[in-house]
Amino acid sequence: MLLPIKLDDGERILISIASAQTPSVKVMRLGFFGLWPIQTIWEYNPTIAGGYDAYVRNLAKMFHDPLAKELKHPLDILRDRLLPCRSITEAQDSLFQAEHSLSERIWKKSATERDPNRPYLSGVLVRFDEGYSEAKAIFSKLSPSFNPPPLPD
């Protein structure tokens, strides 16, 4: 799914959400009269997230408003976040800030749950069950054939 946006400074960006084969979300700068992607300004994919499950869950946490009355399509959520941006730098900062705030929330939560008697390689414990149903609902809306793997017991 693709959505082009014209920013206040005249630059154009393109939001791309891919769900097949290699899922990813990219925001790209458009050049050549706003017709051709020339630079990726932000990307989020399972490799960056630390796995497919983390990708689905983290995207939902990054951009979904828990107080929203109805579920919105991820493309609409990203559009709403980027429309107020006046420049590519501002759009990039907004996206990186969302990613950074998620990392901080995961770190703070995992710090309180860590068992001092058990070492962790990364120092971050991510709960796989948290937000699973929300993430599943959001991505099922993106792709009706979406079926994530079941959570381990």
How high is the pLDDT of residue 26? 93
How high is the pLDDT of residue 128? 44
Going from N- to C-terminal start, the domains of the chain cover 2-142
- Give the pair of three-digit tokens for residue 15: 């939001």
Split the chain (153 residues) into runs of 10 and give each run's mean pLDDT: 86 89 91 87 90 85 78 85 93 89 66 50 41 67 68 54
How high is the pLDDT of residue 123? 38
How high is the pLDDT of residue 27? 94
